[in-house]
Structure 1
Amino acid sequence: MRKVEVVPHNPQWRDAFVKEKQHILQALGNNVVAIHHIGSPAIPHIYAKPIIDLLVEVKAIAKTDQCNLSMIALGYEAMGEFGIPSRRYFRKNNTAGVRTHHVHAFEVGKPEVEKHLAFRDYMIAHLEDAQEYSKLKRELARKYPYDIDSYMDGKHGFIQQMNEKAAKWRELQKTS
């Protein structure tokens, strides 16, 4: 059973992202269009689960499946869509069995890409909302220390609300 742990932001998460990005570029090859740092570790000044989330935009999602062995060689577990249509999901643990990385691959232009990037950028630009999110995550981790599903369910409504704000904010950014 995994403990739900949120910790203060660690500036080294950015370096860990940059390092892992290079490995993933090699594993997925010329199908990769871009790799983004997403999730709470990509948002400065907030608490987060210490797991590096990478969003990979690819030209063809089916070609990602052909790279499963390369991802497995990097220590990832290939999970397929894992509940989200048109996504390829990979997760990685360290030698002690502690989760360290998540990779979410989508084809360029899929709405999930824009949603993740808008959420991240909105939170970076709106410290008050980011701090509210940070507080919620700490409360949920205390309340559900060994129940990741309840922790995730507890964040769902807030994330939906922030996704709506982020989408509107992103549209305003495009027109200004």
Structure 2
Amino acid sequence: MTKPLSEMSLEELWQLFPIILKKHKTEYKEWYWEQKKNLLAALPEKYIERINHIGSTAVSGLLSKPTVDILLEISRKAGLTKVEAELKNAGWTLMHRNEKDQEINLVFNKGYTPHGFADKVFHLHLRYLKDWDELYFRDYLIAHSKIAEAYGELKKL
């Protein structure tokens, strides 16, 4: 019988969910749009400020973990407890919570199963609206393909 993820040790989790780098898939963009549509349906529109595809899968051709990262920025007026509950109802699992200095960083996932990764895996980064470095880094790599290629090589080390 397989243990629930919540009962596994860190060592067991690392074995079940190793960091694997793969060649970029054009489908990542479609996966993102699918999840964005689901997020828009799951949350009241007034709570959502912006939704962006971030991380290496947002940069065409970049070597990456096959995990689509999404940045969901919410209004400070949104009830965080309500947003968290709605995301859990929509199938997201809370992985990490960091709240300090009037800022939040909650990370949810989809696609982690007791048997390893599902075919589609997502990380959802929930934060208040702000200028986040991930957006600038993504845009820089998209605009500078040679630097993106060098960054992909660096990831192999």
What is the match of residue 119 of structure 1? 137
Inter-partner Cα distance in structure 1 for 2:126 and 2:138: 17
Structure 1 stretch displaced more, 21-30 or 76-85: 76-85
What is the match of residue 116 of structure 2? 97
Secondary structure (helix, strand or coil) at the match of 1:89 reads strand
Inter-partner Cα distance in structure 1 for 2:99 and 2:110: 18
What is the match of residue 152 of structure 2? 134
Identity in percent: 28
Which has the larger helix fraction?
1
Which has the larger strand fraction?
2
What is the match of residue 108 of structure 1? 129
Inter-partner Cα distance in structure 1 for 2:36 and 2:28: 12
Give runs of aligned pairs for residues 10-159 of structure 1, distance below 5 A. 10-30=25-45, 31-60=47-76, 63-79=79-95, 81-82=97-98, 85-95=103-113, 96-98=115-117, 100-109=121-130, 111=131, 113=132, 115-137=133-155, 139-140=156-157
Consecutive unaligned residues of structure 2, counting only runs of 5 or more, are 1-14
Write the letter of the residue equivalent to 1:36. Answer: N
Q: TM-score, normalised by structure 2?
A: 0.76
1:4 aligns with 2:19: yes
1:34–1:57 CA contact under 8 A, matched in 2:
yes
Structure 1 stretch displaced more, 22-31 or 66-75: 66-75
Consecutive unaligned residues of structure 1, counting only runs of 5 or more, are 141-176
- Runs in 1 of length 4+ with deviation above 6 angstroms? none
Write the letter of the residue equivalent to 2:129. Answer: V
2:98–2:104 CA contact under 8 A, matched in 1:
no
Q: Compute the RMSD of aligned alpha carbons.
A: 2.1
Question: Cα gap change, 1:64/1:56 in structure 2, threshold over 3 Å: closer, same or farther?
Answer: same
Q: TM-score, normalised by structure 1?
A: 0.69
